[in-house]
Chains A and B, each alone.
Chain A
Amino acid sequence: MTRTLKGFMNLSYVEILHVPYVESKQWGRATSAEVLKNLESQVARALLLQRRPLRGEEVLFFRRILGLSQKQLGSYLGYSDVAILKWERQKLKRLDPVNEVAFRALMAGFFNLKLLGTFAALLGDERSPKKLAVDYDEHAKEAAA
């Protein structure tokens, strides 16, 4: 059984198609941790590759899926945990260009993505489409191949 997930991990513009799920009478619907792990990775890669502008909610998303504390993330970027907290609180405020570039480069490293190392290539693009649609089936096919 599959379904469509909207607003994945508080990112309201993300829509994921064909997500497998399990259902029981007692506990209702559930998604397996392995599927969630793949979804997290797919969405993260799409955010980075499509050069979406990075805001507080994206910072929180990346930190949550990587299981990092604010202190740990801050130390990677040379900031304090309070700075990361401030970014995350301003969910819809875009990061400063320098921070956005540094953050995207750092995350690309976590997800083994080879992005062009120029400032322009790492800076988010305001013109990126509003919706981010991901098809879980495609990932499953790629993984099988």
Chain B
Amino acid sequence: MSHRLESQKILKAILANQFLLRDHAVQRSDERALSRQNVIHVASTVIEWKWQEDKQTHWFIGFLEEGQPGGFTAIRDEVEGVWVVTLFKRKLTRREKGLMK
């Protein structure tokens, strides 16, 4: 299956609240004051996506409720479904700012 199709399936599952939040992601979300709701919000506002060959995960960037950019990485397996690996806040690159316009 192509990575693009896979990423669309991941987003669809996240928007339906059907995903697993890894313990690592829960820990990071506590440190960064993020939550499960933020993952869903980012998924609904994704502006950039890529497949990370080195980490073998999908990387998504969108927006948090405050309008601040945020993102998460996720992977889908056939047994358990979508795993959210980690989540983060970040600054937009110049190119990503251009995508917003």
Q: Please list the residues of chain A having a beta carbon within 8 angstroms of any beta carbon in chain B.
A: 9-10, 22, 24, 27-34, 36-37, 40, 60, 64-72
20 A-B Cβ contacts within 8 A? A10-B33, A27-B83, A28-B22, A29-B22, A30-B20, A30-B22, A30-B83, A33-B14, A33-B18, A33-B19, A33-B36, A36-B21, A37-B17, A40-B36, A60-B33, A65-B36, A65-B37, A68-B65, A69-B64, A69-B67
A30 to B39, CA, bound (A): 15
Query: A22-B20, A28-B24, A37-B17 in contact; A70/B37 too (CB < 8 A)?
Result: no
Question: Is there a chain A Cβ closer than 8 Å to B26's Cβ?
Answer: yes
Secondary structure of the A contact surface, majority rule? helix
Q: Across the interface, which residues of B come within 8 angstroms of A69, CB to CB? A: 64-67
Q: What is the interface of chain B mostly: helix, strand, loop, or mixed? A: mixed
Inter-chain CB contacts under 8 Å: number: 73
Known: A27-B85, A31-B23, A67-B40. 9 other contacts (CB 8 A): A29-B22, A32-B19, A32-B20, A33-B19, A33-B39, A40-B36, A64-B33, A64-B37, A67-B38
For residue B30, CB closer than 8 A to chain A, the reply is yes
Q: Are A33 and B22 in contact, CB atoms less than 8 angstroms apart? A: no
Q: How far is the CA of A31 from the CA of B80 in the complex (A)?
A: 11
Q: Are A67 and B83 in contact (CB under 8 A)?
A: no
CB distance from B66 to the nearest CB of A (A): 4
- Residues of chain A within 8 A (CB-CB) of B24 are 28
Neighbour of A67 across the interface among B20, B26, B65, B67, CB < 8 A: B65
Q: Does B47 contact A (CB under 8 A)?
A: no
Q: Which residue of B lies closest to A67 (CB)?
A: B37
A13 to chain B, nearest CB (A): 15
List 7 A-B pairs, minimum CB-CB distance, nearest first: A67-B37, A30-B20, A64-B35, A69-B65, A69-B66, A30-B22, A29-B23
Contact for A36 among B30, B36, B83, CB less than 8 A: B36
The docked-state distance in angstroms from the alpha carbon of A9 to that of B35 is 8
